[in-house]
Amino acid sequence: MRAGSRPQGEAFHLESAVERQRTAAPEDLGRRCPECGASNKAEAQWCGQCLTKFATAQAVVPPPPPPALRPLPDQVASGLLHELADEPLDVSAASPVETSAPPRSFTGTGEAGAVRVDESGISWTCVRCDTVNEFSANICVVCSAQFAESIRPPEEPRPAKDPNKVAMFSLFMPGAGHAYLGMWGEAVARAVISTWVVLVALFAAAQSVAQARIMAILFGLAATGLWMVAAHDSFREASGMSSAVILKRRFFLYLVLALLLLSIVMIFSIAMGAR
């Protein structure tokens, strides 16, 4: 019985191995035993069926897939076809190569206000003496007029006023004549400074110190001068002779600084005389 049962056991063993091979997972079918033909995992070193040791071999690295071919442009493909057919290549339909356009040079002339552009360069014309100056010059080479005066927009013409009437208004109150002409900035400045000088003169005259009386006389003369200059300047403005104005903006600033300094001197002199 033992001798007859051996073949049946071997047959059963082979059938079970075939059945396991058939139902094995795909990852288990990686390496086949050279002795019994059983399938093992790819990383197995021993056969799971007959315990045969596998020979160590380097893993075969599959070659990389070939790079995907890019389609050629239509123009290149047509050129290759023409070369293969020994025909001349027609480049008339090819797109032109973009090139940077050369810089354009200005060859014309033009004039905008006092600034003029011609073939010789850029220049500006003085509004006072009509002298043509280079654009790099800030003042006129003849009359020393500023470049800003030439490009300044023209002032709107003021309505004509009687110069004598304007002067009478200024004699009544400094700045009133300028206000009548519509020059409100000049009017307010002259009125404020004249009023302040008169008040300082009255304050100094009320003091009993000798130094205060001297300061009262000085401020009184300054107030009288401002009164007369305001009438003169308003008359000139109404006559259209702005260049003949005495108390211009820059000189007006200097006058205010001088009066402030004189007021400080008066305060110290009164304080010293009181002691």
Q: Where are the domains of the chain?
A: 7-54, 110-151, 163-274
* pLDDT number for residue 157: 63
Distance, CA of 14 to CA of 116 (rounded, Å) = 111
* pLDDT number for residue 5: 44
147 or 217, higher pLDDT = 217
Helix (H) or strand (E) holding 86: none
Contacts by 67-74 with C-beta closer than 8 Å and gap 24+? none
pLDDT band for position 119 (50/70/90)?
confident
For the CA atoms of 7, 8, 14, 20, the dihedral, rounded to the nearest 10 degrees, stands at: -160
* pLDDT number for residue 4: 45
- pTM score: 0.44
Q: What is the pLDDT of residues 216-247, one digit of tens each?
A: 898 999 999 999 999 999 998 888 888 788 88
